[in-house]
Chain A
């Protein structure tokens, strides 16, 4: 099993979610996050005060997937979330040791 963490542009969330649903992804966790990478922040001016925001808002997706599905998920996110501009985000994958469904106690792939 794999645990996929994707940081994407907020406005891409719906598109990515739809594409992943078609792929058969049954669930994911979404959070609004802030951070910085190579994309520069933006400048805001309020009367005489100029502020540079260096933390930009992004959306973080967390998806647990079977070993078979994981590569297709990664590919789908990459293709859907890309605008070919700086700041599109990143996808991280780590090995998932176990998964348990709380209601039934199932473990492993059936729990996903």
Chain B
């Protein structure tokens, strides 16, 4: 993907040298790539534009969690459980941040404790942020382009914050606060950091040629996940589904009405997610360049298309398009385009958006009603199913024949666009990445839920659930009219 860009850069450099003496020094600097630059050289390869964009992206992704996701979810529960959802999301963000600084970043983005473990998990060399300073750098996807490591650290931190917060929607209105927080800590360590490591850890474009094994397993296989379709959405979606099944249905599920208490809040939350998602997807390019804009526009079009197609499906099926449907469609579109955002073209992203909503709609209505599981806020139906749709579609959309960015061969220095893109081969890899994430997150989550349930207990007493978690878990009410 970045190889395209790189080639253009080098060609212009060569032309520059030949044409004008005045630009020769610049052109020379562009053409002469430094392999494995030193820390000091890396600092010289950072620039203010990329650094600023990464700071902006980080706060945008934080805004997706608080207040975006919190309001999106909060509006969908009953009045008596509003605060419990807000508090769960808010505290998961805070705890997730602490955990990230202490061990998370190191476990996700450093080499393994032993070389044999490098495909699966990082070590503790950067635990407690050891060595992460204002003058350490992190690689981007371009040769000889770096960003300050703190920018990468905090950007990835916001991902580690939102992912466990997504899970709570599956068993909203029926979980005790403290056991949930214990689950989040353990899940982050045992599931999120390893999966993030497997998909996103690699030596970087200036080092991979010399150390081709210095990468997470799925990264090494060539799985494409631009901004977190597997790491974030499938990962959280399946964990939520497992939690929903193991914790059981809400008291009165299917007998009592449990309508959303404020779709106004839900609309505000979905809109904040939409806005924040530009940080999530376009920010994942780690630079501010043309490909960043491709991801940006892809995100916009897929979301518009998915909001429209969900509304159309409802118009056809229920005869009335609903606000909740439009918001759900927008989120489904955002989820689906996430893995594809930096690889697809705008028009194919639009098609992906049109396709994903009917699929998610089918899962949250027909499938959910048939199997009667109580996935309160449809984390599985929207995030997991939308994420899988996007992850598999990425193999098709990345194809240069469809205007996609193709894949870059980083084992060459400087990196080049890999020739002979095969959709089928890529689809196989995508499928394997999805399967590994589903199995790993699903199984570990099941074990965690089981153990926590037997020790601390996951579910509040029936009386407490009826009274509402706001009063029984937090001692306050969302609204005092």
Select B364's contact among A44, A47, A53, beta carbons within 8 Å. A47
* Distance between B258 CB and nearest chain A CB, rounded to angstroms: 7
Q: Check if A46 sits within 8 Å of B369, measured CB to CB.
A: no
Type the 1/0 row for B302-334, where 1 means its CB is closer than 8 Å to any CB of A.
000000000000000010101011001000000
Select A47's contact among B257, B320, B324, beta carbons within 8 Å. B324
Select A48's contact among B257, B259, B260, B369, beta carbons within 8 Å. B369
- Chain A positions within 8 Å of B260 at CB level: 46
Q: Check if B318 sits within 8 Å of A45, measured CB to CB.
A: yes
> Count the A-B residue pairs with Cβ separation under 8 angstroms: how many?
25
Give Cα distance in the complex from A51 to B378, angstroms.
17
- Known contacts A51-B257, A51-B259, A53-B257, A46 near B365 by CB under 8 Å: no
The interface size of chain B toward A, counting residues with CB under 8 Å, comes to 17
Question: Does any Cβ of B come within 8 Å of A49's Cβ?
Answer: yes
Q: Check if B325 sits within 8 Å of A47, measured CB to CB.
A: yes
- Among residues 39 to 93 in chain A, which have CB atoms less than 8 Å away from a CB atom of chain B? 44-49, 51, 53
Q: Check if B259 sits within 8 Å of A47, measured CB to CB.
A: no
Question: Does any Cβ of A come within 8 Å of B466's Cβ?
Answer: no
Q: Check if A45 sits within 8 Å of B369, measured CB to CB.
A: no
Give Cα distance in the complex from A46 to B377, angstroms.
10
Chain A interface: which size bin?
under 10
Type the 1/0 row for B356-376, where 1 means its CB is closer than 8 Å to any CB of A.
000000001110110000000
CB closest chain-B residue, reference A53 = B257
Q: Check if B322 sits within 8 Å of A48, measured CB to CB.
A: no
Give Cα distance in the complex from A16 to B334, angstroms.
50
Q: Check if A44 sits within 8 Å of B328, measured CB to CB.
A: no
Give Cα distance in the complex from A112 to B366, angstroms.
60
CB closest chain-B residue, reference A44 = B259
* Distance between B294 CB and nearest chain A CB, rounded to angstroms: 32
CB closest chain-A residue, reference B361 = A47
Q: Check if B318 sits within 8 Å of A48, measured CB to CB.
A: no
Residue from the set A47, A49, A53 with the largest chain B CB neighbour count within 10 Å: A47
CB closest chain-A residue, reference B310 = A47
- Chain B positions within 8 Å of A51 at CB level: 257, 259
Q: Check if A47 sits within 8 Å of B318, measured CB to CB.
A: no
Give Cα distance in the complex from A46 to B327, angstroms.
12
Known: A46-B259, A46-B260. 8 other contacts (CB 8 A): A44-B259, A45-B320, A46-B76, A46-B324, A47-B378, A48-B365, A48-B368, A49-B259
* Residue positions of B touching A, CB distance < 8 A: 76, 257-260, 318, 320, 322, 324-325, 328, 364-366, 368-369, 378
* Residue positions of A touching B, CB distance < 8 A: 44-49, 51, 53
Nearest 6 A-B pairs (CB), nearest first? A48-B365, A51-B257, A47-B364, A48-B368, A48-B364, A48-B369
